[in-house]
Chain A
């Protein structure tokens, strides 16, 4: 556990969380409907942010667990850390925030999160935090724009008008109209190769039996070739060989 126990988790406003997420999340973007932000502080400074909020497509997601009330679940929709924090900090922070949610918002029965296996990882941290794998889907929604920026196609209509207009123009589309992902693809965008993995954590373990989709064994990730770790396509068995520069530095000490 090392220094993980020294990490202080605080509830922080979006004005503090968002700049940190933009700087440290691989996407460089925030999710606009996040409603609860936690900051992870160590040695007096902010080194991590976990943002929770309702899912964008709440009416679809809610059916994953039978009889879930409208406000009965949350999505962990952004998690960003800098390299200052010690190993295992991510799962430590997830655990700490889930405990705070259990205590202060008992109406929340489960938390969903998605691992982006096209650019980031297949959810090592979620598995370490006792999330259940409930979906491995070949990516159909994250698209690569002609300028190289990756965008979740489903959220294009929810982007700031200036951002949407920029993407529309990149694909030769009229910014005053709405488009489907296929319109952007016809305009030069490409669907990113890889998988998206859906994980669920049951804050109230009794609700696990209400899951309406099968639980998937973690071994399925390698069987499907969906493994990704720190942006590299690698099966789970080879993970221990990959270390970040900060990790190597820590181990030298």
Chain B
């Protein structure tokens, strides 16, 4: 006999949840629930234990979205959640479609150890998890050798006001289209390259 579920509090979170969730994903989820209300459903077992949607339940509880609509099913029919207040071809409908995808994408942080412990390597692999084993990796590497040819360090002393303006200019220069095509002479330092761009443009302007 399946448990009667009337409120969110009748549900039991999965203490062994494979998804650790991410801070950013949880924020997106909260934004989505606040802006659009509930979208897709969650999944629980016959005793009210949450199989999928632990994060949704936690977030819904945090924002007082505690009423539930339960659809009892044995998996032989697809449960369709129909929003009667929305059209897909509206800015809101399209944004909800994006929110649905992105909250899922950004909210996943699977605990591989837990999956391996609970279900074993074969099932973890079968469901697309990358099992990290020492056999995948070698023990060789290489690091840059020798001097950094032709690269010098230039130090400047400035007042706080000058430094602020200087740093802002370096930052602006890095956003310029010309920065992308700048001759760097092998320099990989972004601030150095930005300073060179500014100096070159200043020299050109004086010609």
Q: What residues of chain A have their CB less than 8 Å away from a CB belonging to chain B?
A: 8-12, 16, 35-36, 39, 41, 44-46, 59, 69-71, 74, 100-101, 104-105, 107-108, 177-178, 180
Contact indicator B134/A44 (Cβ below 8 Å): yes
Q: Which residues of B contact A41 (CB under 8 A)?
A: 133-134
Interface residue SS majority, chain B: loop
Partner of A108, one of B132, B143, B147, B168: B143
26 A-B pairs, CB-CB below 8 angstroms? Answer: A9-B139, A10-B138, A10-B139, A11-B137, A11-B138, A11-B141, A36-B143, A41-B134, A44-B134, A45-B113, A45-B133, A46-B132, A46-B134, A59-B153, A70-B151, A71-B144, A71-B145, A100-B139, A100-B141, A101-B143, A104-B140, A104-B142, A178-B164, A178-B167, A178-B171, A180-B160
- The bracket for how many chain B residues form the interface is 20 to 34
Are A10 and B137 neighbours in the complex by a CB distance under 8 Å?
A: yes
| B206 at the binding interface (Cβ < 8 Å) | no
Q: A9-B139, A104-B140 are in contact. Are A16 and B145 (CB under 8 A)?
A: no
* Residues of chain B whose beta carbon lies under 8 Å from any beta carbon of chain A: 113, 116, 132-134, 137-148, 151, 153, 160, 164, 167-168, 171
Q: Pick the residue among B113, B134, B146, B151 that contacts A39 (CB under 8 A).
A: B134
Contact residues in B for A177 (Cβ distance below 8 Å):
164, 167-168
- Give every chain B residue within 8 A of A178 (Cβ-Cβ): 164, 167-168, 171
Inside 8 A of B160's CB, which chain A residues have their CB? 180
| Contact with A44, one of B133, B140, B145 (Cβ below 8 angstroms) | B133
For residue A22, which residue of chain B has the nearest CB? Answer: B109
Residue among B132, B144, B145, B148 with the most chain A CB within 10 A?
A: B132
Give complex CA distance A71, B143 in Å. Answer: 8
Complex CA distance for A107 and B113, rounded to whole angstroms: 38
Q: Which of these, B116, B133, B141, B146, contacts A104 with CB under 8 Å?
A: B141
In the complex, chain B residues whose CB is within 8 Å of the CB of A8: 134
In the complex, given contacts A36-B141, A46-B132, A104-B142, what are 17 additional A-B residue pairs having Cβ atoms less than 8 angstroms apart? A10-B137, A11-B137, A16-B132, A16-B137, A39-B132, A39-B134, A39-B137, A44-B133, A69-B147, A71-B145, A74-B143, A100-B139, A101-B143, A104-B140, A104-B143, A177-B167, A180-B160
Shortest Cβ distance from B172 into A: residue: A176
* Known contacts A35-B143, A70-B147, A71-B144: A12-B168 contact under CB 8 Å: no
Most buried by B among A10, A16, A100, A101: A10
B36 vs chain A, min Cβ distance (A)? 23
Q: Write the chain B residue with the least CB distance to A10.
A: B137
Chain A residues, Cβ within 8 Å of B137 = 10-12, 16, 39
A107 and B146 contact, CB distance less than 8 A? yes
Q: How far is the CA of A101 from the CA of B145 in the complex (A)?
A: 13
Question: Considering only CB atoms, which chain B residue lies closest to A42 in the complex?
Answer: B134
Report whether A45 and B132 are in contact in the complex, using a CB–CB cutoff of 8 Å: yes
Do B151 and A105 touch across chains, with their CB atoms under 8 A apart?
no
Query: Which chain A residue has the least Cβ–Cβ distance from B160?
Result: A180
Q: Which 6 pairs show the lowest CB-CB distances between chains A and B?
A: A10-B137, A41-B134, A70-B148, A105-B143, A178-B167, A8-B134
Contacts of B147 in A (CB 8 A): 69-71
Specify which chain B residues have a CB less than 8 angstroms from the CB of A108 in the assembled complex. Answer: 143
Q: Which of A11, A16, A44, A74 contacts B139 (CB 8 A)?
A: A11
Residues of B within 8 A of A74 (CB): 143
- A69 to B149: give the CA distance in the assembly, Å: 11
Q: A11, A12, A107: which contacts B145 (Cβ < 8 A)?
A: A107
Task: Return the chain B residue nearest A53 by Cβ.
Answer: B143
Decide: B153 and A11 in contact? CB cutoff 8 A. Answer: no
What CA separation (Å) do A174 and B160 show in the bound complex? 17
Nearest-CB residue, chain B, relative to A105: B143
Question: Chain A contacts of B148 at CB under 8 A?
Answer: 70-71
Most buried by A among B138, B145, B160: B145
